[in-house]
Copies of this chain bind each other. A is one copy, B any other.
Amino acid sequence: MLGPGDDAAVVGAPDGRVVVSTDLLIEGRHFRRDWSSGYDVGRKAAAQNLADVAAMGAVPTSLVVGLGVPADLPLEWLDGLTDGFRDECAVVGASVAGGDITRCDLVVIGVTALGDLGGRAPVTRSGARPGQVVAVAGRLGYAAAGWALLEAGVPENPVLEEVVVAHRRPGPPYAMGPGAAELGASAMLDVSDGLLQDLGHVAEASGVRIELDPRAFAVGEPVSVAAKELGVDPLEWVLTGGEDHALAAVFPSEVRLPPSWQVVGRVVEGEGVLVHGREIGRRGWDHFR
Contact = CB atoms under 8 A, between A and B. Distances in A.
A20 B64 contact: yes
A68 interface: yes
Nearest to A56: B8
Contact of A55 (B7, B52, B124, B188): B7
Contacts of A26: 68, 102-104, 108
Interface stretch (A10-18, A160-168, A270-278): A10-18
Interface in A14-39: 14-24, 26, 29-30
B98 A22 contact: yes
A10 B21 contact: no
Given A6-B124, A8-B19, A68 B114 contact: no
A56 B18 CA distance: 18
A99 interface: yes
A16 B11 CA distance: 9
Q: Top 9 closest A-B pairs, CB basis?
A: A110-B110, A24-B66, A8-B21, A13-B13, A7-B52, A112-B112, A22-B64, A7-B55, A13-B18
Interface of A: 1-2, 5-24, 26, 29-30, 51-53, 55-56, 58, 62, 64-68, 97-100, 102-106, 108, 110-115, 117, 122, 124-125, 188-190, 205
